[in-house]
Structures are given as C-alpha cells and as structure tokens.
C-alpha cells in the first residue's frame, strides 16, 4: 500500500503516489489498470485533492503504456456486492470472499482498489468475444 503523510507538502505526496505505482507496475508487469472514476465529495477541497491523486495514478499507468479502465463507484459496488449502494465494509467483506483471502483487506482503500479490479474482470468476462 502506498501511504503519504499529511505533514508532507501536497506535490511531494503526488510524486510518492506516482513513484509507488511505478514500482508496483514494474514488479507485476500488468497490461491494464482499473481505477475508480472521480467521486463527488461534499468538501470541494478534498474532491480536488483526490482528483489530483487519481491523476498521479493514471499518469503512472499511462506512462507504463497500460490500458486504463475507469468505473463509477456504484458500478464497482454493484459488480462486487450486487448492490450499487453497498457500504464500504460490505465491499471489503465481499472482496475477501471473492478472492478467498485469509483476512479482510487492511484498509478500505485496499478493498476499493481490489473491488475495481474485480469489477473490471467481471466486465471483461461479459464483454469478451470468443
């Protein structure tokens, strides 16, 4: 998991996100990236910062020539739990069960990321032509 410190200045936090994802991409050599679309937050400042962080993640994937797929939060929740309005804890529980993990993902952010991957796999399965 890539963690940044709120005590660091924001541009350095974005660099840490991008570099952390570069390392993950280099290690695992994926062909695609699945990411949650921008969310609507009640706090505009938080929404803008999340958008910047998401941009750093997308840039890491684009620089690695990954095909990038974006899914709405409701689409991810629906794909994983069957309910587009599921709570984050429900998503976390279903991610654990679908992936047969020994324990729940450590954070809601981790389960959200795994949920985006599961959503893409489900979409790919239904749209793939044989």
Query: pLDDT of 69-95, one tens digit each?
Result: 999 999 999 999 999 999 999 999 999
Task: Provide the 10 A C-beta neighbour count for residue 25.
Answer: 17
Q: Structural domain boundaries of the chain?
A: 1-71, 72-130
Q: What are phi and psi of 43, to 5 degrees?
A: -95, 115
CATH 3.40.50.300 fits 1-71, yes or no: no
0.85 cut: is pTM over it?
A: yes
Query: pLDDT of 11-44, one tens digit each?
Result: 999 999 999 999 999 999 999 999 999 877 778 8
**Which letter does DSSP use for residue 75 in this model?**
H
Is the distance from CB of 69 to CB of 33 less than 8 angstroms? yes
The CATH number of the domain covering residues in 72-130: 3.30.420.10
Topology agreement, domain 1-71 and domain 72-130? yes
Distance (Å, rounded) from C-alpha 6 to C-alpha 9?
A: 7
């Amino acid at each position: 998991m890539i963690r940044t410190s709120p005590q660091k200045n924001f541009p350095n936090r974005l660099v840490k996100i991008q570099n952390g994802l570069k390392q993950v991409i280099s290690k695992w050599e994926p062909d695609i990236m699945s990411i949650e679309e921008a969310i609507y937050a009640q706090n505009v400042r938080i929404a803008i910062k999340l958008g910047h962080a998401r941009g750093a993640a997308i840039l890491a994937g684009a620089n690695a020539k990954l095909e990038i797929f974006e899914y709405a939060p409701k689409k991810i929740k629906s794909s994983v739990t069957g309910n587009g309005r599921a709570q984050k804890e429900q998503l976390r529980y279903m991610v654990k069960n679908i992936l047969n993990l020994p324990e729940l993902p450590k954070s809601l952010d981790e389960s959200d990321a795994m949920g985006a991957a599961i959503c893409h796999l489900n979409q790919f399965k239904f749209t793939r032509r044989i």
